[in-house]
Every structure is written in C-alpha cells, then in structure tokens.
C-alpha cells in the first residue's frame, strides 16, 4: 500500500509541486525569520559575549548591559572582599564622540579595561598587538569601528584622532561580535578612559569578577548582592536579562512572531486545501482500494505517508534555502542570522503539525467514503 500511496502522490505532479512549494515556503520563512530574530538577540547582548567574564556587578536597578548606571569606585574592593571571589577588576563603558583628522565626528562606545590584567579584552586580534594598549594615548578599535568610521583608507593602525579633545592613537584592530546598536567600540585602559570622559563623580560602570574554582557562580553572585547591595549576575543571567529587556521594550518580538505565525498559517492553508483537492480527485482510486478490502485505517495511513513524504521533502529544501540565504546575507556582518538546532526542531514539529492537520481533513473525507463510488 505504501508503494501505491507514493505512486498516487507523485503521479499528480501539479498538486505535488504545489504542496511542496507551499511547505517549502513555510519552512524557509519560519527558519529565516526565527534565525534573524535570534541573531538580533545575540547582537543585543554582544557586549557580554565580547567581554567574556563569568560575573558582572553593577547597579541593582540596571535593565540591560548597555544601560550603564555608574557605581562608587569602592565597589571593586567591596566585591574583592566577598568570600568565594577569585578576582575583581573595574570596567568603564560609555558613549563619546570621536573626531577624526578630516573633521568627521563619530559616536563610539569607549571601553576601559583594567591595565594590569586587561581582563575583558577581545579574544582575537586582527592587526597589531593588543598589549600595545598600555602605551601612551593608545587605543584598540574593533573591526566594525574601522568600517563605520570610513574604512581602512581613513582609519587604521597608527591613525591619530581625538576623544573629548584628547589624543588617541590606534595600535591594534580586534575582532568582536557586532552589536545591536552597531556603534563602534574603542578599547583603552580604565585609567585612560577616565581621563577621556568629562569629569564625573562616579565613573565605574561595572565590576568584572570570577568565582573561585569549584564554587558555583550563582552562589557567589548571591553573596555579592547580599554583602554589597549591588546587582550581581552571571554572564548567562545578564545575557537573558538583556534579551528580556529588548523583548519587553521594543516591538521586535511581536514583529517577528507575527511573521512566523503567518508562515505557519500560509503553509497550513496551502497544504490543507491542496491535499483535500488531491484526495477528492482520487476518491475513485481510494474507493477501489476500499472495495478490495482496504480498511479506513489503511487509507488513513496512506494519506499520512503522502503528507509526511512531501512535508519532510519541503522541510529539507526549506532549510537549505534559508541556510543559503543566511550564509549570503550574514557574510561580513550584514545581517544577524543564527540558526540553532532548537529552532530547526521547533520548525520540524510545526511542519509535522501542518502535515497531520492537512491529512486529517482528507482522512475525514475518506472515513465517509462508500466503496460504491468506484462504479459511479
């Protein structure tokens, strides 16, 4: 019966292709939009992944990583005194305007790292040596800063520019994950960052810390909060806090969610209608099988086999097209595209639901089928 079912499916080439195109489009749309959405969420907490430290300590009322609320400089020593903390270092993070030699101004995110340890530095350097950041007036740019500030012909290693009327000299280019705001990042030492920014009463943005090996980060963050009154988060917890803030305060979740739901509805409508028409046009064949002794259960199994065959084929093609789109569009950081196995599994479940519902519409028709239809 399986062979007969597949012959019937492939024999009606027009409806088979219509079914395949509808399901492929639904899969491609859901995977594409879901991957772009998750890519944006990864961009939203890129500061956390770029700094890459286990524990972040800051103002307890902070909503997300780019919402800087300066804390007292004594916070570093207070965190170091907490039992279970292996080390703690200061981090400055703020927005400034950079003035290039050609007179152009660019908004940048200034990141000041602890000079003795350089904890929080990017993992990969594309040009130069990151350690040269300890030289006078030295700064390190990320690759997006070079792109946004005019390209390699305008800014690169050795280029001089001004931050708040103070000289800055590029000594290296680092590789980082692109940010949600796409603002260039400039790294320097914590002490030099404080000199670049306007004088303020509080300049410490974060305290970066690590738990002693063997002690869970969650336990140490709880101790820090209890003993200092500051907000303390593991990197994973802070990342999710940032993502939740973005979802709550922007329309990104609703916009992408609507598109994904529409993809599901379109796939359901096309598959359901086409599969029903396919069944109606083959009623005599199904009636003949029933007259030969095939049960309704057997016919239902044939319908499900047809639905899942075309569904899984569309799933494979749809994922291939979405992945190809993501590879081309995300090349060079042009578009966020993060395709996860959880998303692919969710799409597979959604597709199987579409195929099952579509098949049930046809099975309902077959359940009432009289074998005598073959003689009409």
DSSP labels, 237-293: HHHHHHHHHHHHHSSHHHHHHHHHHHHHHHHHHHHHHHHHHHHHHTHHHHHHHHHTT
pLDDT at 84: 93
Task: Label residue 310 by pLDDT band (50, 70, 90).
Answer: confident
| Token reading at 134 | 């300890």
Residue 85: is its pLDDT beyond 70? yes
> Do both 266 and 318 map to the same domain?
yes
In a domain, 343, yes or no: yes
Residue 211: is its pLDDT beyond 90? yes
pLDDT at 15: 77
> Do both 326 and 267 map to the same domain?
yes
Lowest mean pLDDT among 117-126, 209-218, 290-299, 314-323: 290-299
> Do both 84 and 223 map to the same domain?
yes
> Do both 138 and 182 map to the same domain?
yes
> Do both 85 and 210 map to the same domain?
yes
pLDDT at 190: 95
Q: Provide Rg for the chain, Cα atoms.
A: 29
pLDDT: which is higher, 361 or 167: 167
> Do both 173 and 219 map to the same domain?
yes
In a domain, 236, yes or no: no
pLDDT at 230: 93
> Do both 268 and 218 map to the same domain?
no
In the predicted model, what is the mean pLDDT of residues 255-266? 84
In the predicted model, what is the mean pLDDT of residues 22-41? 88
> Do both 122 and 197 map to the same domain?
yes
Residue 325: is its pLDDT beyond 60? yes
Task: Label residue 210 by pLDDT band (50, 70, 90).
Answer: very high
> Do both 265 and 208 map to the same domain?
no
What is the overall mean pLDDT for the chain? 86
pLDDT at 2: 65
For 87-135, write each residue's pLDDT tens digit. 999 999 999 999 998 888 999 999 999 999 999 999 999 999 999 999 9
Burial 331-360 (b: 16+ CB within 10 A, else e): eeeebbbbbeeebbeebeebbeebbeebbb
Residue 276: is its pLDDT beyond 80? no
Separation between Cα atoms, residue 89 and residue 75, nearest integer Å: 10
> Do both 221 and 257 map to the same domain?
no
Residue 134 domain boundaries: 72-229
In a domain, 284, yes or no: yes
Lowest mean pLDDT among 64-68, 78-82, 154-158, 331-335: 331-335
Task: Label residue 75 by pLDDT band (50, 70, 90).
Answer: very high
Separation between Cα atoms, residue 14 and residue 277, nearest integer Å: 12
> Do both 216 and 273 map to the same domain?
no
Residue 333: is its pLDDT beyond 70? no
Q: Against a cut of 0.75, is the pTM above it?
A: yes
pLDDT: which is higher, 363 or 370: 363
Residue 133 and residue 178 in contact, taking contact as beta carbons nearer than 8 Å: no
pLDDT at 372: 52
> Do both 17 and 130 map to the same domain?
no
Task: Count CB atoms within 10 A of the CB of residue 178.
Answer: 22
Burial 103-142 (b: 16+ CB within 10 A, else e): eeebebbbbbbbeeebbbbbeeeebbebeebeeebbbbbb
For 136-192, write each residue's pLDDT tens digit. 999 999 998 988 888 888 898 999 999 988 999 999 999 998 887 788 999 999 999
pLDDT at 371: 59
Residue 1: is its pLDDT beyond 70? no
In a domain, 238, yes or no: no
Please tell me the total count of domains within the chain: 2
In a domain, 135, yes or no: yes
């Amino acid at each position: 019966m399986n062979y007969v079912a597949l012959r019937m499916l492939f024999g009606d080439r027009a409806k088979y292709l219509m079914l395949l195109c509808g399901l492929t489009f639904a899969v491609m749309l859901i995977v594409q939009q879901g991957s772009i959405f998750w890519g944006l969420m990864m961009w939203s907490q890129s500061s956390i992944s770029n700094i890459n430290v286990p524990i972040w300590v800051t103002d307890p009322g902070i909503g997300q990583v780019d919402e800087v609320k300066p804390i007292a400089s004594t916070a570093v020593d207070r965190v170091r005194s907490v039992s279970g903390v292996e080390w703690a270092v200061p981090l400055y993070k703020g927005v400034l305007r950079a003035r290039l030699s050609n007179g152009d101004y660019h908004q940048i995110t200034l990141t000041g790292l602890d000079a003795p340890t350089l904890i929080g530095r990017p993992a990969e350097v594309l040009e130069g040596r990151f350690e040269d950041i300890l030289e006078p007036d030295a700064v390190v740019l990320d690759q997006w800063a070079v792109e946004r500030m005019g390209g390699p012909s305008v800014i690169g290693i050795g280029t001089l520019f001004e931050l708040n009327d103070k000289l800055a000299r590029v000594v290296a280019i680092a590789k980082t994950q692109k940010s949600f705001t796409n603002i260039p990042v400039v790294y320097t030492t914590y002490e030099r960052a404080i000199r670049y920014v306007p004088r303020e009463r509080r300049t410490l943005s974060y305290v970066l810390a690590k738990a002693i090996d063997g002690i869970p980060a969650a336990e140490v963050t709880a101790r820090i909060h209890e003993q200092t009154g500051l907000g303390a988060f593991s990197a994973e917890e802070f990342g999710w806090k940032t993502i939740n803030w973005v979802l709550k305060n922007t329309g990104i979740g609703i916009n992408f969610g609507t598109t994904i739901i529409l993809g599901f509805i379109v796939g359901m409508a096309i598959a359901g209608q086409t599969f029903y028409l396919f069944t109606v046009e083959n009623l005599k064949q199904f009636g003949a099988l029933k007259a030969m002794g095939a049960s309704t259960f057997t016919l239902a199994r044939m319908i499900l086999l047809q639905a899942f065959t075309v569904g899984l084929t569309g799933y494979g093609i749809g994922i291939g097209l979405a992945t190809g789109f993501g590879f081309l569009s995300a090349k060079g950081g042009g578009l966020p595209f993060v395709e996860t196995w959880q998303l692919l599994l969710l799409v597979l479940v959604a597709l199987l639901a579409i195929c099952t519902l579509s098949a049930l519409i046809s099975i309902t028709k077959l359940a009432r089928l009289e074998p005598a239809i073959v003689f009409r």
